[in-house]
Amino acid sequence: MKYSLLLASLFVIISFQKSLSQENNLDDIVPEIIKKNGDKFVKSKNISSVSIGIYKDGRIYTEHFGEIVKGKNNPPNDNTIYEVGSISKTITGYLVAKAVLDKKIKLEDDIRVYLDGNYPNLEYNGTPITIKHLITHTSGLPTFLPSRMNGLYEKLTKEVPNEYLALEKSYDKEKFLNE
């Protein structure tokens, strides 16, 4: 399923870029590209719904296709939450590469440059964590944050999901960066 989403997402990106190089009227071409690809997605036996959003030149184009659960007449909408899984790594990598090529960031930049606040803990063995460390998963950051989460997975009981949810609700950006 994740592999299908990755291929489908790359197809949409390539199709979109190819079409834009041939057309200039975004208001006509973008919805057409979204509809064409959205219809293809939901025809797959492994995908019941998809939401496609494109941000281009300050405009947002969004469309939803299929049903969250086939046969339940429950189409996705702007509030539908999808589990993106590992595809987010590909999208993040693409966006970072584009930002580097556009000279907006450098791979060697200390990540603290982009954060409000003082986080001396965001270094590993005395070396600041960089954009490159984050994108290549070599930052030395722990696998799970908050650190208390490790204990949850050691005692897999029926209460783990509720404990996880409570922990997640009490954990904000500030706590994350400090930890």
* Helical (H) or strand (E) element with 59: strand 59-66
* Residues linked to residue 124 through DSSP beta bridges, in sequence order: 127
Please choose, from the candidates 39, 36, 57, the residue with its C-alpha nearest in 3D space to the C-alpha of residue 47. 39
56, β-bridge pairs: 59
Please tell me the predicted confidence (pLDDT) of residue 12: 53
The arithmetic mean of pLDDT across residues 106-124, rounded, is 91
pLDDT, tens digit (0-9, with 9 covering 90-100), for 54-96:
888 888 999 999 998 888 999 999 988 877 777 888 888 999 9
Contact 87, 6 (CB under 8 A): yes
Could you tell me the pTM of the whole model? 0.54
What average pLDDT does range 117-122 have in this prediction?
87
Q: Which residue has the tokens 């939803």?
A: 64
pLDDT for residue 26 is more than 80: no
Q: Where are the domains of the chain?
A: 2-83, 145-179
Helices (H) and strands (E) in the chain, counts: 7, 4
